Amino acid sequence: MSTATTYTMASFLSATLILSTLSVAAPFPAEEVGADGHGWATPPNASKPIEPSLSELYGVKFIPVPSITLGAIDVDAALIEDEMTPQPAPLRFAIPRPVNVSVADGQWIDVPGGRLWRLAVTATDSTCNRLHLSGLSLGDGESLFLVNTGDIEQFVGPLTSTGSFETGEAWGLFAQGQSSRIEWFVPDFKDRAELPFTSVEISHGYRDVFSAAIGADEGGVAGNCHNAPLCFPTWANQSAATVRLAFGGGYLCSGQVMATTAADATPYCSTANHCISTQADANSCQYLFNFRNSSCGGGISAGTTVTGGNLTDTWSTSDCTLMMIRAEIPATTYFVGWLTTTAANAAASTCLHHPGGAAQAISFGTKISNPICGSTSYWTGMSWTNGITEPGSSGSGIYRNSDQKLYGVLTCGSSSCQNPGGDDGYGRWDAAVSATGGNFAAFLAAGSDDAQEPNDTCTAPRAIVPGTPLTGLVCKSTDPDFYSFTVPSGSTATMSLTFIDANGDIDAELFTTCGATAVASALGNANNENFTWTNTGAATTAVLRVFLFTDTRNEYSMTVSVSTPPDPPPANNECAGAVVLPLGSTTVTTALATNSAIALATTCIDGGTTVMYKDVWYRLTAPFTGTMTVSTCNGSAFDSRLAVYPTTCPTASTQSIACDDDTTGCSGGSTSVTWNVTVGTQYLVRLGGKTSMASGFATLTVTGVPAAPPCPEDLNGDGTVDGADLALMLNYWGSAAGDVNGSGTTDGTDLGILLSGWGAC
């Protein structure tokens, strides 16, 4: 029998933070679940704004969009094909049709930050439609939306990279109307001439599965043989768990959200194997919650639609499938309990389903011994006393009235509004759950978690190493994640989460003290989250809390890094900060210096570039007139270069007075420079490395040789040899004080030199 499409999305379970302990309060009953799955409901939780479509974001919805229009299809032929389809099979309601699309078919609009390309696709006379893209590959900064343009616009997006499934496939939503629109944003820095996908299909609906309604006689059998679930309030919980599944190019079944033994809010959904049995089907699955009468006798509610699932397990032997819904499910979702043994024959039982894809219905009957679809080992039978099932109901659950637990999913049968006495067959859930059968119990014990567990409280976090990416992480509404890491004083911590927000909005907060106010947080409502925090206090161990703001489960990757700012460069890093260089030897270092802008003259280098790397500057005042030498010769731990400049900081490489690189006789690339000096004149000395890796300690030695005086016989230094000098020499006679020839004694020879040099020097 065709299954009615059930659309499941992870139920919203907001974690309640108890600030005194930073622990999460359990949102489900405290009762032990036991071997069988007990049903439970999620409480209401917060919601965040939904990101608008690109047309709405950029305010261009009023601009007409070019359209590719496909003609009508032969509906009668499609219906005949359906009648000839072997059963059991899902209910087909739409046919996928290829669409030839090129860039030229669409419309480019300049928008802030880039360009927007739009194109509508119309399927004439279709009851509903859905777009499907293959080969999707979006570059950095690009995004894409698939927008259904019915009475109420609905969309999937933003899609990035290779799509939400990372397969290059993207599915829009099944919705009423004949048209859908592709919206593609390209940022200014990208130049795209080709479409970011290779093929387009539009599903052409030929059955009306969105406006179809059921009758609602106050709790009794309605004129069209279907009962409104909300006329039976004891089944309101199971009604809140029932979903309509639309998948692939146009198929319908029913399903229901399942509880785990641990009641950890994992959004599992069960249906029939003949409905969904591959990951591709699960990817495309669209879940519709609460498509039913708004009250007993009330109108039909449009319900809540979400899309995308993971195939958890499937077992054809009893026609059962278990999926996990990726997207956010409504906060009112109920998680149904289930049996590990089948119900007894004649057990009063109830089924909630979507007959023909219509609004949700409820049927009542008793379990019979005839399994209908196959052997009693894998199937059980139902005889109806009030209500029936129809194509589209496949995959819906049958519940034992005594405890309202599921024990089978609909496979086949003959009941219909035209044959209300027909019996139906259900695949046995206990066989699918059994370890010797489908072994679904291994998944239903609890949803999978990550290798960082246990890390559920602020006081017992998982210690992580900053800079190490963590992938495959799982965040549950019942199980937030806590991580700890050290942040030194003055360091900056950066946290980055990667996830798909449509699958559950993940937020993060950083604490330095459990129970205190967060020092940093990331509380956005789009894909991914990040924050930075600088520790201005003492070194601390920070605790990061990652939690779900909406939904019950999502997966994420995380990177935490801690960066310590480098030590500041030395005071003499630039010429303006040059420090005094004394005579003699001084130990210096260039390790923290940066490169000054002034290059060296090509005559100053012995190979390599003209850059002096990690250079430092000094000021040297000449104590005499003569020559001075500054040297790292045989005293440098790195390949050094030296340059000397006049008093004023240089503005060009040609202004050096002296320079050298790899001086002959100096080992390890050490250097020595010598230049003429004038007493009292100030000079700039620059020391650096030959390569970007050349820096460190060196012994900088300053020596000098005064120039010989021009008139050694000018004893008083007044520039003239005269009587004053003669008087001094006579006064020094016999001592070394007036010696001008270097003999060590002032004598007649010195007197002769003085007299011969009489006059101005």
DSSP string covering 595-658: --SPPPPGGG-SSS-S--EEEEEEEEE-SSSEEEEEE-TT-BSS-EEEEEE-SSPPSSGGG-SE
**Is residue 23 helix, strand or coil?**
strand
Question: Cβ(38)–Cβ(337) under 8 Å?
Answer: yes
pLDDT band at 19 (very low <50, low <70, confident <90, very high): very low
pLDDT above 90 as % of the chain? 78
pLDDT at 687 over 80: yes
pLDDT at 119 over 80: yes
* Integer angstrom CA distances of residue 195 from 123, 139, 545, 738: 21, 11, 41, 99
Helices 723-731/748-756 angle, 10° precision: 170
Instruction: List, for residues 243-275, the tens digit of each pLDDT value.
Output: 999 999 999 999 999 999 999 999 999 999 999
* pLDDT value at residue 213: 53
Average predicted confidence (pLDDT) for the chain? 89
Distance CA 59, CA 748 (A): 109
* pLDDT value at residue 434: 95
Distance CA 656, CA 314 (A): 81
* pLDDT value at residue 51: 66
* pLDDT value at residue 508: 97
pLDDT at 20 over 70: no
Instruction: List, for residues 735-759, the tens digit of each pLDDT value.
Output: 988 898 889 999 999 999 989 889 9
Q: What is the DSSP code (8-state) at residue 4?
A: P
Distance CA 697, CA 640 (A): 10
- Domains located in the chain, CATH noted: 94-205 (2.60.120), 228-444 (2.40.10.120), 462-563 (2.60.120.380), 575-706 (2.60.120.380), 720-760 (no CATH)
pLDDT above 70 as % of the chain? 92
Of 425, 431, 412, 442, the C-alpha closest to 268 is 442
Instruction: List, for residues 699-749, the tens digit of each pLDDT value.
Output: 999 999 888 777 888 888 778 899 998 998 899 999 988 898 889 999 999
φ and ψ at 372, to 5 degrees? 70, -60
Instruction: List, for residues 388-440, the tens digit of each pLDDT value.
Output: 999 999 999 999 999 999 999 999 999 998 899 999 999 999 999 999 999 99
Instruction: List, for residues 447-498, the tens digit of each pLDDT value.
Output: 999 999 999 999 999 999 999 999 999 999 999 999 999 999 999 999 999 9
Distance CA 648, CA 176 (A): 80
Of 458, 462, 455, the C-alpha closest to 509 is 458
pTM for this entry: 0.72
Instruction: List, for residues 428-447, the tens digit of each pLDDT value.
Output: 999 999 999 999 999 999 99
**Is residue 18 helix, strand or coil?**
strand
* pLDDT value at residue 50: 58
Strands 697-706 and 626-631: antiparallel
What is the mean pLDDT of the segment spanning 616-636? 94
pLDDT at 26 over 70: no
Instruction: List, for residues 72-104, the tens digit of each pLDDT value.
Output: 999 999 999 999 999 999 999 999 999 999 999
Question: Cβ(365)–Cβ(541) under 8 Å?
Answer: no
pLDDT band at 36 (very low <50, low <70, confident <90, very high): very low
Instruction: List, for residues 120-138, the tens digit of each pLDDT value.
Output: 999 999 999 999 999 999 9
Alpha-carbon Rg of the chain, whole angstroms?
Answer: 43
pLDDT at 594 over 50: yes
pLDDT at 642 over 50: yes
